[in-house]
A and B are shown apart, each in its own frame.
Chain A
Amino acid sequence: MLTDTENIIEVRGLKKAFDQNMVLKDINFAVKKEEKVVIIGPSGGGKSTLLRCLNHLDGNYTGDVLFKGQNLGQLSKKELQLCRRKMGMVFQQFNLFPHKSVLENITFAPIKLKLLSEAEAIDNAHDLLKQVGLDEKANAYPQSLSGGQQQRVAIVRSLAMQPEVMLFDEPTSALDPEMVGEVLGVMTRLAKTGMTMVIVTHEMDFAQQIADKILFMDNGHVADIGTPDYLFNHSKNFRTRTFLAKVM
């Protein structure tokens, strides 16, 4: 089958169950280069599971997930690793490595995978840290940072791999309210550089601002899909409107 190579990510007929519980029921969508796709919806609707299927962190699904035309389910371990390098992932719980300094968190993978020499990786890490205002924390350990700072480091850690797409799994949900802004700010600036992004979030204002396309997921389905203007202002979909009425 021919694939549209402009699509960085393509999902076709994706279904996934945990035991008897169907959490993804026939999902179809694509993410184009430089596109910002935001996934919203009620908790338990399958948003995070969908995101985790995009870089095959969750396997055991049926259907196809394609990254630049490569079907992740059919790749060898090595090929899958090569794809994952190109797909940065930011987690709700940051998941920084607590036994490594901020700098080591950022440089470990690029050095280990021989993408950069040690000197280049360190220079690159300092550059990226400067961009998120955290260069003075380069030698600190994660537990001495605030949640917002940890999440900014986590974003930098992913960016250091020079990914072609960034996946965000509720990046601000574990943060104190006053720290949400600094992380969303970093993401907004990243969006302006032309990065392709897929974001699961509960921040509706942010979704509206940043998205080219919003997926509304409910009960394992993509219940509604469209531009922010369509979804927030014109959608006739009952479930979309009920959900938005509740959260906004």
Chain B
Amino acid sequence: MFDFLQQYYPVFIQGAAQTVVISLIGICIGILLGLVVVAMNLSKFKPFAWLAKTYIAIVRGTPAMIQVMLIYYVLSKALPIPDIRFLGSSLDRVIPGSIALGVNSGAYTAEIFRSGIMSIAVGQTEAGISLGLSENTTLFSIIMPQAVRNILPAMGNEFISLIKESSVLFYIGVQEVTAQALGVGGTLYNFIPPLLVAAAIYFVLTFVLSQLLKLAENRMGRKYVALN
């Protein structure tokens, strides 16, 4: 049943590598965007908060597939990205695709960050501020490190969904692992075995990631027990 792998395994490896690359870029953009958006959301300057809330509402309220396509079509008009091959796809698809994943993930991470910040007692902010620290220093040096520890499980879930949802980039022609599996399926006139292989690859990726996150959780929890 899996004899085709002898011939096609490089295709799956390339697809898996592509999935890892777009997911990593997506996660990084998502975290950075999430940090900016949560700072805006909690800002006392109302237009920032309003902008952040609108962004979160739109991203959460529309399908990822449409977001990816819209960002791809807009960016391919606006940005002249050279047509360079990278792991079986053109960069002019990979780059807008990863950005789209990041833009989608940013809304969710911003909300996870917000829940983490809310989970830290107000007294921590007051202690920081009354030492003469700025609000930003208090947020980033006092609140965030504690929040990160509280939100690590939720962030893990977000990373795992992002890896799985990166398969939507198939629709804009990024040859990630789902796209490769469908390609192989078309050649074989049998989709089931290659899709099973793709599913196994996703499972391995998310399983390894969740183990790594567990390790990080344990390491961060060793030093102190939350007071709240």
Contact = CB atoms under 8 A, between A and B. Distances in A.
Given A91-B126, A97-B124, A85 B131 contact: yes
Contacts, number: 71
Given A91-B123, A99-B146, A142 B224 contact: yes
A97 B120 CA distance: 11
Interface string B180-221: 000000000000000000000000000000000000000000
A99 B222 CA distance: 10
Contact of B149 (A91, A99, A113): A99
Contact of B227 (A85, A87, A113, A143): A143
A57 B130 contact: yes
Interface in B13-42: none
Interface residues of A, number: 29
B49 interface: no
Interface residues of B, number: 24
B127 interface: yes
Contacts of A141: 223-224
A46 to B, nearest CB: 18
Interface string A104-138: 00001100110000000000000000000000000
A109 B123 contact: no
Contact of A57 (B124, B126, B134): B126
B145 A91 contact: no
Given A91-B123, A91-B127, A95-B124, A112 B224 contact: no
Contacts of A87: 130
A155 B223 CA distance: 23
A158 B132 CA distance: 10
Contact of A99 (B126, B131, B145): B145
B141 interface: yes
Nearest to A91: B123
A125 to B, nearest CB: 14
Given A55-B130, A57-B126, A91-B123, 7 more contacts: A81-B134, A89-B126, A91-B127, A97-B127, A98-B225, A99-B224, A108-B131
Contacts of B78: none
Contact of B123 (A95, A112, A143): A95
Contact of A84 (B123, B131, B145, B226): B131
Nearest to A78: B134
B139 to A, nearest CB: 13
Nearest to A86: B132
A57 B135 CA distance: 12
Contact of A95 (B127, B132, B141, B145): B127
A161 interface: yes
18 contacts: A57-B126, A77-B134, A81-B132, A81-B134, A83-B132, A84-B132, A85-B132, A87-B130, A97-B142, A98-B225, A98-B227, A112-B137, A113-B132, A141-B224, A142-B227, A143-B224, A143-B225, A158-B131
A97 B132 CA distance: 15
Contacts of A55: 130
Contacts of A47: none
A107 to B, nearest CB: 11
A98 B224 contact: yes
B74 interface: no
A124 B128 CA distance: 19
A15 interface: no
Contacts of B223: 99, 141
Contacts of B227: 98, 142-143
Contacts of B149: 99
Residue among A86, A87, A108 with most chain B CB within 10 A: A108
Nearest to B134: A81
Contacts of B137: 112
A84 B130 contact: yes
